[in-house]
């Protein structure tokens, strides 16, 4: 049986994860600020929009119209009508928006659903401990349900925290988000100024630890050879 996939809009990323975002699953990008998480999301969205499909987009960090214009270029006005944008204002509202966006999924059958970021608003509720984590887990499971019900990929981004004891960064949400996400890509800053690296952390059929280097550019990203 052939696995259905949607292009990421980035040939190097398509190759890394086996041909594109897999339908019926969640793909997670995580990394430090300014590593290109939002840019990869927008590139994927624009690729689907240019193909004549629609996209549901939940943005918790403030959707950048300017960046969208840079990536979509001359196609901006043509494709924007098929981008269904939701912007929750707090963690509770995030859950409401996830529930409400099903109306768009039913009516327009989007090619993919993007959530950038899944954990920015959750971070403000961390003082609630396990209760907040349980709510976040339910929200992400809700998204996974959409991926399966509407046969599409879901893309989420995740913020990181530093573990001083191990001197490394981990994604928020712990094992719950790690388990629910079938593909996880870590975005890292390189040693050379302006250089970044995408590294595969989790995949069901591709070698973990592989990756590619890239730079963030005015109209998206550029692979570094």
pLDDT tens digits for range 4-26: 999 999 999 999 999 999 999 99
State residue 126's pLDDT score.
75
**Domain at 5-224, CATH homologous superfamily:** P-loop containing nucleotide triphosphate hydrolases (3.40.50.300)
40 CB-near residues (< 8 Å, 6+ apart): 8, 10, 13, 29, 187, 221
Residue-wise pLDDT for 59-95, tens only, equals 999 999 999 999 999 999 999 999 999 999 999 999 9
Residue-wise pLDDT for 112-144, tens only, equals 999 999 999 998 887 776 789 999 999 999 999
pTM of the model: 0.94
State residue 1's pLDDT score.
58
User: What are the DSSP calls for 40-92, one per residue?
Assistant: HHHHHHHHHHHTT--EEEEESS---HHHHHHHHGGGHHHHHTTEEEE--SSHH
When pLDDT is cut at 50, 70 and 90, the band that residue 175 belongs to is confident
Q: Which residues pair with 26 in a beta bridge?
A: 154
Nearest-CA neighbor of 60 among 100, 92, 31? 92
User: What are the DSSP calls for 177-224, one per residue?
Assistant: HHHH-SEEEEEEE-SSTTEEEEEEEE-SSS-TT-EEEEEEETTEEEEE
State residue 164's pLDDT score.
65
Six token digits for residue 137: 């887990």
Six token digits for residue 83: 């981008």
Q: What is the mean pLDDT of residues 213-218?
A: 97
What value does the CA radius of gyration of the chain take, rounded to a whole number of Å?
16
| Domains in the chain: boundaries | 5-224
Please classify residue 151 by burial: count the beta carbons closer than 10 Å to its beta carbon, then call 0-12 exposed, 13-18 middle and 19+ buried: exposed
State residue 167's pLDDT score.
65
When pLDDT is cut at 50, 70 and 90, the band that residue 160 belongs to is confident
The Cα–Cα gap between 199 and 92 comes to: 32
State residue 129's pLDDT score.
66
The Cα–Cα gap between 57 and 45 comes to: 8
Please state whether beta strands 55-59 and 83-86 pair in parallel, antiparallel, or not at all (unpaired): parallel
């Amino acid at each position: 049986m052939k696995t259905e996939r949607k292009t990421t809009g980035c040939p190097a990323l398509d190759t890394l994860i086996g041909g594109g975002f897999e339908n019926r699953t969640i793909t997670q990008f995580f990394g430090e600020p300014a590593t290109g998480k939002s840019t990869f999301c927008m590139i994927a969205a624009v690729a689907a929009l240019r193909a004549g499909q629609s996209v549901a987009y939940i943005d918790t960090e403030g959707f950048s119209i300017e960046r969208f214009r840079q990536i979509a270029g001359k196609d901006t006005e043509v494709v924007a009508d098929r981008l269904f944008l939701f912007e929750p204002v707090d963690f509770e509202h995030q859950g409401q928006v996830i529930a409400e966006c099903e109306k768009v999924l039913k009516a327009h059958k989007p090619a993919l659903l993007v959530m950038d970021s899944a954990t920015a608003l959750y971070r403000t509720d961390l003082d609630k401990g396990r209760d907040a984590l349980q709510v976040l887990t339910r929200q992400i499971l809700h998204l996974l349900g959409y991926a399966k019900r509407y046969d599409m990929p879901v893309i989420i981004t995740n913020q990181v925290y530093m573990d001083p004891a191990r001197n490394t960064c981990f994604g928020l949400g712990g094992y719950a988000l790690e388990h629910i996400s079938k593909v996880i890509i870590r975005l890292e800053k390189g040693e050379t100024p302006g250089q970044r690296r995408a590294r595969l952390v989790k995949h069901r059929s591709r070698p973990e630890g592989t990756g590619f280097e890239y730079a963030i550019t005015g109209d998206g990203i550029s692979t570094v050879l």
